Amino acid sequence: MAKPQRLCILGSTGTIGQNTLDVVRHQSHLFDVFALCAHSNVERMLQDCLEFEPTFAVMVDELAAKRLNDELTKLSRNTQVLSGISQMSQISCHENVDTVMAAIVGSAGLLPAIAAAQSGKRILLANKETLVMAGDLFMQAVRQGNAELLPIDSEHNAIFQVMPAGMLSSFEDAGIKKIILTASGGPFRQLTYEQLEKVSVKQALAHPNWVMGPKITIDSATLMNKGLEVIEAHWLFNAQAEQIDVVVHPQSIIHSMVEYVDGSVLAQLGTPDMRTPIAYALAYPNRIQSGVKPLDFTQLSKLEFEQPDYQRFPCLSLAFEALKMGGNASAIVNAANEVAVSSFIQEKIGFNDIARLIESVLNRLPKLPISSLDHLLDIDTEARAVAHQWVEGKTC
């Protein structure tokens, strides 16, 4: 009998991390949780440490790590508690780790993901910002470390499932015409631009189909989530901007499609539940029970499709623009978007201001090639500073 896969879960207290642990819970004979890593949610991390008994638990926040360690010590548990991104990066490339679930939201997940790639791990990538910020650098690390990269985003996982096995280096060789990313359209797809000016944070956090963290939920409402996925698809599948389409599909039953040159279109369908792509990637190339409710076709009244409205949702256009610009443009967009979403959640700016802020920062900063990881981090810092200046000007 094969040994269980030893997992390091980056972002274990978040939505993807918790769904991963739920799949592990149902398939405990196949997986062993070696390390859990999160930012500062001590209560959730403590419960998971008690249930899964990882060798290591890493908290980005030092005070949270101390609290967690005190609680585990009281309970005489042997999990070793560490703190900081550097420790998280060390654990992600630990010799006893087979598979890394990279599910930390935002730019914080970049360094641990690159460390895992450099050390040749199987990486289940749920952190789209890693590819959006550092696509070229990260893919280089994957190749140099001989790592295995499997996408977790439901859209990219769907494309991966319907691509030819062992796809060749180009769409032409594989007979692929284009890939089609589906978008739910979020909670505001039928509102006018004027109505969008007045939407509240509470309304934006009420996604009609998916249960996600606040940052990704807001990104879904602006369609920036789909824009980031366009950039991610470019790196994952070696697809050019003109080979990537986006179509709004409100029911979120078809998760994405691949169109072939012979006229065939292959789609992956399923109940909107992240445990499906997680289970697929965890067990790849095999398939395992995920705990997801089966899709009942007799209960589907209709499947709708429509073009995205780039005027009402300009974040999607900005992402395509950044992809075509290349260099540091995607990193600038990503940094500006993170500041914009955070500011919107704090009610410092309005919903439509998110796109205005991103466009302003993208236009203001020079577009340059990315020469190194340090250079990338400098770009990220500069873009955030400019974005914060924009917010301060808005709120003065």
pLDDT at 193: 94
pLDDT of the residue at 25: 95
Phi, psi of 76 (to 5 degrees): 60, 40
pLDDT for 169: 63
Whether 258 and 333 map to the same domain: the answer is no
Of 112-121, 141-150, 213-222, least confident by mean pLDDT is 213-222
* 229, 366: one domain: no
**244-248: average pLDDT:** 97
For residue 285, give every residue at least 6 positions away whose Cβ sits within 8 Å of its Cβ, in sequence order, or none.
none
Contact (CB, 8 A) for 93 and 2: no
Over residues 253-279, the mean pLDDT reads: 96
Cβ–Cβ contacts within 10 Å for residue 49, how many? Answer: 23
DSSP at 78: -
Kindly report the three-state secondary structure assignment for every residue of 330-358. Answer: HHHHHHHHHHHHHHHHCCCCCCCHHHHHH
Residues 167 and 131 reside in one and the same domain: no
Span 11-20, pLDDT tens digits = 999 999 999 9
Residue 263 sits in the same domain as residue 332? no
Strands 176-183 and 244-248: parallel
Q: Are residues 163 and 303 in the same domain?
A: yes
Instruction: Tell me if residue 8 falls in helix, strand or coil.
Output: strand
pLDDT confidence tier of residue 117, bands split at 50, 70 and 90: very high
Residue 326 has pLDDT above 60, yes or no: yes
pLDDT recorded at residue 216: 84
According to DSSP, the residues that pair with 102 across neighbouring strands are 10, 125
The answer to whether residue 331 sits within a structural domain is yes
Q: Are residues 17 and 144 in the same domain?
A: yes
Would you state the pLDDT for residue 268?
97
Domain co-membership, 139 together with 165: no
More confident residue, 178 or 207: 178
pLDDT at 158 (0 to 100)? 97
Residue 157: pLDDT over 80? yes
Dihedral over alpha carbons 108, 26, 97, 274 (to 10 degrees) = -30
Q: Which residues contact 136 (CB under 8 A, 6 or more apart)?
A: 235, 370
Residues paired with 258 in a beta bridge:
179, 266
**Spatial CA neighbour of 312 closest among 230, 248, 240, 365:** 248
Residue 347 backbone zone (phi > 0: left; psi -120 to 50: alpha; other: beta)? left
Q: Does one domain contain both 90 and 169?
A: no
- Asked if residue 283 is part of any domain, the answer here is no
Among the candidates 130, 151, 172, a domain finishes at 151
pLDDT at 107: 73
**Quick one: average pLDDT of 71-91?**
95
Which of residues 2 and 310 earns the better pLDDT score? 310
Is 179 within a domain? yes
Q: Is residue 316 part of a domain?
A: no
The number of distinct structural domains making up the chain is 3
The string of DSSP letters for 131-194 reads: HHHHHHHHHHHHHHHT-EEEE-SHHHHHHHHHSPTT--SSHHHHTEEEEEEEE---TTTTS-HH
How far is 314 from 228, CA to CA, in rounded Å? 13
pLDDT range class, residue 301, cuts 50, 70, 90: confident
Share above pLDDT 70 across residues of the chain, in percent, rounded to a whole number: 97
In a domain, 279, yes or no: no
What is the model's pLDDT at position 209?
Answer: 65
* pLDDT of 147 higher than 90: yes
Q: What is the pLDDT of residues 340-375, one digit of tens each?
A: 999 999 999 999 999 999 999 999 999 999 989 999
> Which band of pLDDT confidence, cut at 50, 70 and 90, is reported for residue 31?
very high
Sole residue written with tokens 């991104």: 85
Which residues, at least 6 apart from 216, have a Cβ–Cβ distance to it below 8 Å? 15, 105, 225
Same domain, 63 and 127: yes
56 Cβ partners below 8 Å, 6+ apart?
Answer: 34, 35, 36, 79, 80, 81, 82, 91, 94
The reported pLDDT for the residue numbered 3 is: 87
As a whole number, mean pLDDT of residues 285-297 equals: 93
The answer to whether residues 119 and 172 belong to one domain is no
Query: Is 232's pLDDT higher than 90?
Result: yes
Pairing of strands 99-102, 80-83: unpaired
Q: Taking 80 as the threshold, does the pLDDT of residue 150 lie above it?
A: yes
Domain of residue 341, CATH code: 1.10.1740.10
Confidence of residue 172 (pLDDT cuts 50, 70, 90): confident
The pLDDT score that the predictor gives to residue 34 is: 98
Residue 98: count of CB within 10 angstroms of its CB: 15
Residues 169 and 84 in one domain: no
Q: Is the pLDDT of residue 146 over 90?
A: yes
Is position 292 within any domain?
no
Query: In this model, does residue 210 exceed pLDDT 70?
Result: no
What percent of the chain has pLDDT above 90? 87
Q: Which residues contact 166 (CB under 8 A, 6 or more apart)?
A: none
Q: What does pLDDT average to over the chain?
A: 93
Residue ending a domain, among 92, 119, 151, is 151
Q: Determine, yes or no, domain membership for 172.
A: yes
Are 249 and 177 members of one domain? yes
Q: What is the pLDDT of residues 386-396, one digit of tens each?
A: 999 999 987 75
**Domain end point (choices 151, 166, 198):** 151
> CA-CA distances (angstroms) from residue 300 to 24, 251, 272, 303?
30, 9, 13, 8
The boundaries of the domain holding residue 111 are: 5-151
By the 8 A CB rule, do 70 and 22 touch? no
Under the banding of pLDDT at 50, 70 and 90, the label for residue 109 is: confident
Output the pLDDT for position 1: 55
Q: What is the mean pLDDT of residues 161-170?
A: 76
Q: Is 88 part of any domain?
A: yes
